[in-house]
Amino acid sequence: MIKIIIFHTISSLNHQQLTGQDINTRKHQAAILMQLFKTIRLIWTFYRNFVFVSLLITMSCVKVIWETGFNWFGLLFWGKLATLGLLFYFINSYKHQEYYYYQNLGVSKVRLWGSTLLFDSCLFIFLTVLAYKLK
Amino acid sequence: MMHKLEADSIQLQFGGRRILTDIYLKCETGKITGLLGRNGQGKSCLMQIIYGSLPGQKSVRFDNQVHFEAFKRPDLLLYLPQFNFIPASLSLKRIFQDFELDYAAFAQRFTEFASYYKTQIGSLSGGGRRLVEIYVVVKSESQFAMLDEPFTHLNPVQVEKVKEFLREEKSNKGLFITDHMFRHVLEICDTINLLVNGKTHLVNSPEDIETFGYARL
């Protein structure tokens, strides 16, 4: 999707009569979008290290909520956070060399973990609440 | 454009043992600066402190501007650690896309990689993997690149090619290298520093290396 937007931004430069300043602004916007796309792709590459295990745990929690209701939510939430803590420890122990790849491309360790943990937690809350509401 | 990287006032100690105390390093565009030292003297730690990934008291300046976390600025400094750092699952195509580099130019220089465009880096030999890592770090747009043991895992032919490559690339950026293959380091570096007992000593002649007890020539 972002790639399409970038493509249209660049190609529109060829079809419109723009001043030099407009062209520079559009190029700048395209560069920002390109950087954003690259950053998201790098974060996704990092997230792939543990997304399968994390989704498996989330879906197990969703199943419990589906079958027993919202009574267990508190316990499941803290359980989910604990497993994320374990995954953090595991990745830091066995994959810490790879941080340099992301850092050399401008994505810090804090940004990698911040964005993936935030997304994973939000996904957990969204799916468990959705399971509760749909039932 | 000329750029200057300076590092000094670096202090590092582990459990009361002082590792780095009296450091001064300077790296400039167009020059290769070498760092030699025995195992455990703190060469890698020094590089990590400059890069900002290891906390420590320091003054690291890029064109006289202080930067504590250079790792957040890949346009200023890129770092090749002594171990493989590129995720094994990534293809060479993806790596070159990420670093915005032209694979054809790489394959032209290192012809053995011509058919490896879609190959995962993890399936390459140790030397091949190291070569890709050196290339992307040195060739990417940044003012400086720090290479920690770049010649490790490379065969003699690859070492010669890398030396030639580094000599060419120093016109675009400042390079800072440490490696135990000191003869290669001596050959390509414009300035050599020797790290002994936490202090850096400027090497004025190859004999200094023997005098400081690092190696026999």
Task: For residue range A100-125, list pLDDT tens digits in order.
Answer: 999 999 999 999 999 999 999 999 99
Q: Which residues of A touch B134 (CB under 8 A)?
A: none
pTM for the complete prediction? 0.90
One-letter identity of residue A56: L
A38–B74 C-beta distance less than 8 A: no
**Reported confidence tier of residue B18, pLDDT bands at 50, 70, 90:** confident
Q: Are B133 and B84 in contact (CB under 8 A)?
A: yes
Say if B217 falls within a structural domain: no
3-state helix, strand, coil in chain B (%, to 5): 35, 30, 40
B99–A105 C-beta distance less than 8 A: yes
Q: What is the pLDDT of residue A64?
A: 93
Q: Is A63 helix (H, G, I), strand (E, B) or coil?
A: helix
Q: From B48, which residue of chain A is nearest by alpha-carbon distance?
A: A100
Say if B112 falls within a structural domain: yes
Q: Which residues of A touch B85 (CB under 8 A)?
A: 97-101, 104
Say if B146 falls within a structural domain: yes
B187: domain CATH number? Answer: 3.40.50.300
B98–A38 C-beta distance less than 8 A: yes
Residue range(s) defining the domain that contains residue B46: 4-211
Which residue in B83, B84, B137 is closest to A104 by CB distance? Answer: B137
Q: Are A116 and A43 in contact (CB under 8 A)?
A: yes
Token couple for B171: 């016109």
Q: From B82, which residue of chain A is nearest by alpha-carbon distance?
A: A97
pLDDT per position as a tens digit, B63-80:
999 998 999 999 999 999
A42–B85 C-beta distance less than 8 A: no
Q: Which residues of A touch B140 (CB under 8 A)?
A: 104
**Reported confidence tier of residue B202, pLDDT bands at 50, 70, 90:** very high
One-letter identity of residue B132: V
Pairing of β B77-80 and β B144-148: parallel
Which residue in A41, A48, A97 is closest to B83 by CB distance? Answer: A97
Q: d(Cα B11, Cα B9) in Å, to the nearest integer?
A: 6
Q: Are B130 and B152 in contact (CB under 8 A)?
A: yes
Q: From B99, which residue of chain A is nearest by alpha-carbon distance?
A: A105
Based on C-alpha coordinates, what's the Rg of chain A? Answer: 20
| Domains contained in chain B, number | 1
A45–B87 C-beta distance less than 8 A: yes
Identify the residue with better confidence: A21 or A93. Answer: A93
Angle at A41 between CA A112 and CA A98, to 5 degrees: 50
pLDDT per position as a tens digit, B82-125:
999 999 999 999 999 999 999 999 999 999 999 999 999 999 99
Say if B216 falls within a structural domain: no
